[in-house]
Chains A and B, each alone.
Chain A
């Protein structure tokens, strides 16, 4: 470096000034942006990072709202207004203009003010074009702030009940077809033999249900025995009012996947109940107007099977 003569400062003095100015500049930035201050202090361990307890009202009710409705613009990939709402610490830290949550004071909480504005207001959140929060969602956030914006509190009185979101998985036709393949021929033959009596339980299922109740007395023990190729796949059977009797007990014993069985108004007795002893999947059994005694039903009831009927002999 060429020498141009003595300057007004020595290099060490200048660098000291630069260091001082840098620190001052960062200090001003932190003063102007408290979120930056807290973020810095937390990242170097000088300030505890606030965390919400699992199962807390925040974690269960508030965080999912922020995540689904706000974090798209106030999250990891985008920090509008230098505000992130994808963690309890970030929510409490606030954004470029300071804290957005004032514990216990909804009126002073900028976040609540914004989500309460009419959708036509330029400052309303979520912004126009995006779906506004529902009244229940706004109430959840309001109650949480009013209760102290805690990450620990588990229940807050008056909070609207949560809306359960149920996702129904899409069935894969190829998979269903593959599962049904081993019994497809037998199902087809028996459907031809007993029209309208045998069907798959659901579009994506290889399990079967049988409804012989409409055939009434025309459906006999022999008819039930004809279903033996499908016995292990029958999960629901309504044999109410049919002519079946204890002679079908061995056949019913092979239907081990049975979950629901209706035998009301048939000639069965306790002997048939013995045949059902090994049916671990059975959840519901109707034996109204049959010869089955309460005593024979006790083992099933003890297992938690919902039993309807039974005599008191």
Chain B
């Protein structure tokens, strides 16, 4: 078990791209829900495409980003996750804890599935996803059904996520929300002797430009 750092100076654990990614995804999921529910399908399209670019960016950031953002540092083996959930793991984690790490991976995977199925969906009226014409109407309809099902899964995951964050805030006295805004955690919440590397911002911008370019390319593939 790592001892908490004995100082009042807050420690930077989340880099800027990860924080912007997190809150932008929150906004985009809300926009996507509202736009689809109210028939603003052009808004829904751009919201979904932006979300897709950000998710692809997050995948790359999970490989090349800062220490706490890398998958290898927060995707722990099942025995460690189980030990953590049974409160038998006394370790401190600067970034995601073992349970939260898999929650993040699951959320990214499901959101990615939602964004990808959206590309092939249609609303049966005047809107089709940019790649809907690549598949038969029957396949597009089935994917649209899947798009609706994944939406319900996302709602459940969001609720689970909020419940978990609330648990840390109210029961464990650990404000994860604030840390995701400021990027900093109280020293008692991070391991002693912490040595985090932060990838430079321009790398993030390059990766984001790359993923935005990929999404734009995919979008124009579907334009007749």
Q: Is B126's CB under 8 angstroms from A10's CB? A: no
Complex alpha-carbon distance, A76 and B123, angstroms: 14
Which of B13-21, B163-171, B196-204 is found at the contact surface with chain A? B163-171
The answer to whether the Cβ of A218 comes within 8 Å of any Cβ in the partner chain is no
Decide: A7 near B166, CB < 8 A? Known: A2-B90, A78-B124: no
Q: Is A14's CB under 8 angstroms from B170's CB? A: yes
CB 8 Å contact bits of A1-43 with B (1 = contact, 0 = none): 1111111111100100010001001000000000000000000
Interface residues on B, range: 20 to 34
The answer to whether the Cβ of A72 comes within 8 Å of any Cβ in the partner chain is yes
Complex alpha-carbon distance, A1 and B86, angstroms: 8
Q: Is A1's CB under 8 angstroms from B90's CB? A: yes
Q: B residues 141-200 with Cβ under 8 Å of A?
A: 141-142, 144-145, 148, 159, 163, 166-167, 169-174, 188-189
Q: Is B90's CB under 8 angstroms from A7's CB? A: no
What is the CB-to-nearest-CB distance from A25 to chain B, in angstroms, rounded to a whole number? 8
Complex alpha-carbon distance, A128 and B127, angstroms: 12
Q: Is A4's CB under 8 angstroms from B189's CB? A: yes
Q: Is B90's CB under 8 angstroms from A22's CB? A: no
Q: Is A4's CB under 8 angstroms from B188's CB? A: yes
Q: Tell me which of B4, B91, B124, B169 contacts A127 (CB under 8 A).
A: B124
- Residues on the B chain within 8 Å of A14, using CB: 166-167, 170-171
Q: A residues 93-138 with Cβ under 8 Å of B?
A: 127-129
Q: How many residues in A have their beta carbons less than 8 Å from beta carbons of B?
A: 25
Q: Is B124's CB under 8 angstroms from A1's CB? A: no
What is the CB-to-nearest-CB distance from B2 to chain A, in angstroms, rounded to a whole number? 8
Q: Is B90's CB under 8 angstroms from A5's CB? A: no
Complex alpha-carbon distance, A86 and B159, angstroms: 32
- Residues on the B chain within 8 Å of A146, using CB: none
What is the CB-to-nearest-CB distance from A221 to chain B, in angstroms, rounded to a whole number? 63
What is the CB-to-nearest-CB distance from A268 to chain B, in angstroms, rounded to a whole number? 62
Interface of A is mostly: loop
The answer to whether the Cβ of B87 comes within 8 Å of any Cβ in the partner chain is yes
The answer to whether the Cβ of A80 comes within 8 Å of any Cβ in the partner chain is yes
Q: Is A7's CB under 8 angstroms from B124's CB? A: no
Q: Is A1's CB under 8 angstroms from B172's CB? A: yes
Q: A residues 228-285 with Cβ under 8 Å of B?
A: none
CB 8 Å contact bits of B1-44 with A (1 = contact, 0 = none): 10010000000000000000000000000000000000000000
Q: Tell me which of A22, A25, A73 contacts B124 (CB under 8 A).
A: A73
Give the residue name and chain of the B residue nearest to A76 (CB): B145
Q: A residues 75-90 with Cβ under 8 Å of B?
A: 76-80
Q: Is A22's CB under 8 angstroms from B159's CB? A: yes
What is the CB-to-nearest-CB distance from A86 to chain B, in angstroms, rounded to a whole number? 13
Q: Is A2's CB under 8 angstroms from B1's CB? A: yes
Q: Is A127's CB under 8 angstroms from B125's CB? A: yes
Q: Is B84's CB under 8 angstroms from A1's CB? A: yes
The answer to whether the Cβ of B92 comes within 8 Å of any Cβ in the partner chain is yes
What is the CB-to-nearest-CB distance from B166 to chain A, in angstroms, rounded to a whole number? 7
Q: Is B90's CB under 8 angstroms from A18's CB? A: no
What is the CB-to-nearest-CB distance from A9 to chain B, in angstroms, rounded to a whole number? 5
Give the residue name and chain of the A residue nearest to B121 (CB): A78
Decide: A4 near B170, CB < 8 A? Known: A78-B141, A79-B148, A80-B123: no
Decide: A18 near B166, CB < 8 A? Known: A2-B1, A4-B174, A77-B141: yes
28 pairs from A and B in contact (CB 8 Å cutoff): A1-B97, A2-B1, A2-B90, A2-B189, A4-B172, A4-B173, A4-B188, A4-B189, A5-B173, A6-B173, A7-B169, A7-B171, A7-B173, A8-B170, A8-B173, A11-B167, A14-B170, A72-B124, A72-B141, A73-B125, A76-B145, A77-B142, A78-B124, A78-B141, A78-B144, A80-B123, A80-B124, A128-B126
Taking Cβ atoms with an 8 Å cutoff, the residues of B that contact A are 1, 4, 84, 87, 89-92, 97, 123-126, 141-142, 144-145, 148, 159, 163, 166-167, 169-174, 188-189
Extra pairs beyond A72-B124, A128-B126 (15, CB < 8 Å): A1-B87, A1-B97, A2-B91, A2-B189, A4-B172, A6-B173, A7-B169, A7-B171, A18-B163, A77-B141, A77-B142, A78-B144, A78-B148, A80-B123, A80-B125
Closest 10 CB pairs of A and B: A73-B124, A7-B171, A7-B173, A1-B87, A9-B170, A4-B173, A77-B145, A127-B125, A14-B171, A77-B141
